[in-house]
Amino acid sequence: MTAFLLRRLIQAAAVVLVMSLLVFLGVFAVGDPIEILISPEADQFERERAVKALGLDLPLWQQYLVFLGNALRGDLGRSFVFNEPALKLILERMPATLELAIGATVAALIIGLPLGLYAGLKPNSPVSKGIMATSILGFSLPTFWVGLMLIMVFAVQLGWLPSTGRGETVTILGMRWSFLTSDGIAHLIMPALNLALFKISLVIRLTRAGVRETMLMDYVKFARAKGLSPARVTFVHVFKNILIPVVTVVGLEFGGTIAFSVVTESVFAWPGMGKLIIDSINVLDRPVMVAYLMMIVLLFITINLVVDITYSLLDPRVRLEGKQ
């Protein structure tokens, strides 16, 4: 286990280094922030002073080395717009995005696993066919349209749920969380369901395929021949084994959920990292853009490591030593 972790940490460091270069070059190519941040009426002297103050007068390679050196000390730069550390701005918005992503993932598992299990155990029933047909909608419907329809129905027409915002929050360890208040949960329901729609369909289809494959295995047939109850066969021998691919995919999708929650946060005016990056792109706030993308890279690397470890715990046959 120790050798595996060390190997993975070395690989992670190499990936972070390469991605930091690609991210920095990509953000640098987007445009000139001076054109947006400085008034068109400013004279040449004021423009040059602003360029120097933001460190944009240095050659690109030197800007990257300065960024890399500061990043090793935990400094990802200061926002051009807010004049605050970019990392601080992102960490302030991170709890909101984490709440949304975790809520969406939990909803996908709670809804998708039972439906997929039923569809796999009884594939020819009308209910199962209806479940599989409905799951296509999760892949087909655009997120922004579903979000607008949810607002129209549950907020405007029925008045059951609030349409935008995060609601009342509680501060714990210096971070604001909304899922600990009833008002916060009410604000969380629609954005989480909207973000979970694709994941629900994915879990349903993945679970159904796993059940259909596992039911044909010899150890399941042997369990039935021993006279074990259908419930024990299903939940001990079938369900446990189909969790392996489900955990892998859902774990990797969790990183994608955080990275691509931009649309949902924009539709529901959810004050998370996604909305922050959209606002930063509009004003070419390079430090915030780079810091956000680097946080996403670190998040994906961490999730991959956690998924690998969880995978090995669910299936002892998996040899961590053999993973590269």
Between these two residues, 310 and 90, which has the higher pLDDT value?
Answer: 90
- For 135, half-sphere exposure in the C-beta direction (CA atoms, 13 angstrom radius) is 23
E-only strand ranges, 163-252 = 170-172, 175-177
At residue 311, the pLDDT reads 64
Residue 151 is given by DSSP the state: I
Mean pLDDT of the chain: 80
At residue 42, the pLDDT reads 64
Residue 174 is given by DSSP the state: T
Segment 208-233 mean pLDDT: 78
pLDDT digits (tens, 9 = 90+) for 120-157: 888 888 888 888 888 888 888 888 888 899 999 998 88
pLDDT band with cut points at 50, 70 and 90 for residue 324: very low
pLDDT digits (tens, 9 = 90+) for 229-278: 777 777 777 777 787 778 778 877 787 788 778 888 888 888 888 888 88
E-only strand ranges, 121-254 = 170-172, 175-177
Q: Give the residue from 201, 199, 233 showing the smallest Cα distance to 214.
A: 233
pLDDT band with cut points at 50, 70 and 90 for residue 23: confident
- Assess whether pLDDT exceeds 50 at residue 175: yes
At residue 27, the pLDDT reads 75
Give the rounded distance of the alpha carbon of 124 from its chain centre.
35
Return the structure tokens found at 118: 């039923």
- Assess whether pLDDT exceeds 60 at residue 220: yes
The domain spans of the chain are 2-72, 89-323
Q: Please tell me the distance from the alpha carbon of residue 63 to that of residue 250, in angstroms, as a whole number.
A: 37
Q: For 85-117, b where at least 16 C-beta lie within 10 A, e where not — what string?
A: bbbebbebbbbbbbbbbbbbbebbbebbbebbb
pLDDT digits (tens, 9 = 90+) for 92-110: 888 888 888 899 989 988 9
- Assess whether pLDDT exceeds 60 at residue 190: yes
CATH assignment, 89-323: 1.10.3720.10
pLDDT band with cut points at 50, 70 and 90 for residue 312: low
Between these two residues, 104 and 31, which has the higher pLDDT value?
Answer: 104
Q: Please tell me the distance from the alpha carbon of residue 131 to that of residue 312, in angstroms, as a whole number.
A: 31
Most confident of 35-39, 43-47, 250-254: 250-254
SS3 state at 317: coil
At residue 320, the pLDDT reads 45
